[in-house]
Structure 1
């Protein structure tokens, strides 16, 4: 199993662009910065959709003062709430690329510059450029166990009982559940997953940025689909990406006619099957996607997520920094409260 990041790589970014999922037509205009063989993936954004760290309040603040907030400059993996390097290549080139990007942003009609899902080293370098760090949180599963039963042994009795009940009900439902990787990921299966993706998007009333071509072009060596089927048809699917260091849960879909029949199927496909896979492959970390307090009761711990932001207008930046400071203080308090709801024994 490779340790290269399944999403923070040139091929994945190329797939997003060549499939039409990213481009001017979707409000994600690629404008990558390069130095030697290193690249800082960058996008001129015309909106704030598909980012998972939200700045809508800042955009509304600008609008209330009749100041354009868009376009802005963004550094992130499109439509992917995952922790990953913000640049590709030699780590020593990041400061040079970040300065190059900052100069571009200052010299052009861009309201702000944003780095999402950054690590501690990136935070330090961006702070030197005047960026301010915002804290949010996600829920991650840290694999410290030999088996699922071993994991359950660390949970309080009532929480352990609930998880066993959920899995038992799915096991008794006569659904076939498969974890499909590599050669099992046929074009037909990936096209079928697109239907499930559209089903979820339609239910949410969201815009389907990801195209069918995006799914059929994915690297099958770092992609997994968990599929639940009756004897006659597929019921639900979940899409994951992985390497030797982490599993990333990304998308899920269920046919509307089955949604009320299998109330725990989402937990089985998106969480428990992912935990099983991490246990089987000795993968130490499982990031199951954005938000979702229901992950907490199933063993996913709250962790701090960092992003870095710079606003061009000094007066606006000062006001937004105060907003970030208040939010950061609240996030730290929230995480401590959330920890008290974890299902683990004291």
Structure 2
């Protein structure tokens, strides 16, 4: 089969059905068959709302592989970046070192879901006899694009294993990091989950949940048609409050949430906390076929442990009720360990054009991977689950 590689400067140029036929059929093994963040609905909402675009430093340049008849065979969500913000895999030190040496680190190419530290498919290729060839053409297209625009590097972040293997086989450098995920071991209820914990941890979580809801706070789950514009207004106020305090300028705007509500509300779970007749806190989650993905949280009133209740414990309850395999609660946060979340290695791949910078980065990554692996092992030993000789 003869392939054509094209660049789409925005998802308006790509049929939603064709994109999703590639993006949503890549789940296999332990992966989630439906990863909401690579869907046309999610990525196009980022573009149409203006959250991504040339003015934001995230210019879409999606790489497409087509058959001669125009059938879309594979794609990679890709962006020209003029900075390193909103990625959650930090390369600022690489950029600084290269700039000090007289090079130009930006622009660079980012194969990713903007503002979303969630592992998922990045080389969107359905299983089939031509899959390896299509992946190879996507990588060739990325490298040709890098050369065409004078980019320093290509960065593919939060990779599933198949994509990581394909990219490292093509000479990309592997980088590892760590997150904390909750795993459903077939629990029938939250109490079943607590029964798997050591007694001291079990009591601590019960106390946190009780204290979080003191003062007449109630919790509700909203999904699908239950989510109204008033709910989005309330949640956006929470999101803006947290964003302004943590990093100064939140990445997502109000229009984005409306578009998500219009296009994929059945895949959204809002966990909202109410007190005295008004919503005071909330968290947005996205629902996959096997996993729940916690994304953003915010509040307009501070209450002890309310963050843990809304973001972690309610997510666990929902996953148990829906029989989902896993809860992914976003980047960072060793405090999640005491709440039953386990350390998980996440990976990215990096292709750097300039040989001296590549050698320096490779040496750094070789050391970093050892540290990340050792840290994950130490944290795993500190998990709160009870041993066989405990009650």
Partner of 2:45: 15
Q: Distance in 2 between matches of 1:39 and 1:131?
A: 18
**Pairs within 5 Å for 1:23-172:** 23-36=53-66, 37=72, 38-91=74-127, 92=131, 93-144=134-185, 145-172=187-214
SS of residue paired to 1:209: coil
User: How far apart are 1:171 and its partner, in Å?
Assistant: 3.4
SS of residue paired to 1:118: coil
Whether contact under 8 Å (2:152, 2:352) holds in the other structure is yes
Whether contact under 8 Å (1:225, 1:238) holds in the other structure is yes
Q: Distance in 2 between matches of 1:132 and 1:101?
A: 15
Q: Are residue 243 (structure 1) and residue 288 (structure 2) matched? A: yes
Whether contact under 8 Å (1:26, 1:209) holds in the other structure is no
Q: Distance in 2 between matches of 1:5 and 1:173?
A: 37
**Pairs within 5 Å for 1:202-281:** 202-218=244-260, 219-255=264-300, 258-259=301-302, 262-281=303-322
User: How far apart are 1:172 and its partner, in Å?
Assistant: 3.3
| TM-score (normalised: structure 1) | 0.95
User: How far apart are 1:233 and its partner, in Å?
Assistant: 1.8
Q: Distance in 1 between matches of 2:320 and 2:165?
A: 34
**Pairs within 5 Å for 1:161-200:** 161-200=203-242
User: How far apart are 1:250 and its partner, in Å?
Assistant: 0.2
Structure with the larger RCO, 1 or 2 (CA within 8 Å, 6+ apart) = 1
* Stretches of structure 1 lacking an aligned partner (at least 5 in a row): none
Q: Distance in 2 between matches of 1:308 and 1:244?
A: 26
Q: Distance in 2 between matches of 1:25 and 1:103?
A: 24
Q: Distance in 2 between matches of 1:81 and 1:22?
A: 16
Q: Distance in 2 between matches of 1:330 and 1:313?
A: 26
Q: How many residue pairs were aligned?
A: 341
Q: Distance in 1 between matches of 2:339 and 2:149?
A: 47
| TM-score (normalised: structure 2) | 0.85
Whether contact under 8 Å (2:213, 2:306) holds in the other structure is no
Q: Distance in 2 between matches of 1:273 and 1:63?
A: 45
Q: Distance in 2 between matches of 1:319 and 1:10?
A: 37
Whether contact under 8 Å (1:99, 1:129) holds in the other structure is no
* Stretches of structure 2 lacking an aligned partner (at least 5 in a row): 1-31, 67-71
User: How far apart are 1:33 and its partner, in Å?
Assistant: 0.8
Q: Distance in 2 between matches of 1:206 and 1:327?
A: 29
**Pairs within 5 Å for 1:304-319:** 304-319=345-360
Q: Distance in 2 between matches of 1:46 and 1:89?
A: 28
Q: Distance in 2 between matches of 1:173 and 1:131?
A: 53
Partner of 1:336: 377
Whether contact under 8 Å (1:114, 1:310) holds in the other structure is yes
Q: Distance in 2 between matches of 1:291 and 1:20?
A: 27
SS of residue paired to 2:38: coil
Task: Please give the root-mean-square deviation of Cα atoms over the aligned residues, in Å.
Answer: 1.4
Q: Distance in 2 between matches of 1:227 and 1:134?
A: 36
Whether contact under 8 Å (1:191, 1:215) holds in the other structure is no
User: How far apart are 1:89 and its partner, in Å?
Assistant: 4.4
Whether contact under 8 Å (1:131, 1:310) holds in the other structure is yes
Whether contact under 8 Å (2:212, 2:304) holds in the other structure is no
Q: Distance in 2 between matches of 1:74 and 1:53?
A: 11
> Any runs of at least 4 consecutive aligned residues in structure 1 with deviations exceeding 3 A, and if so which?
none
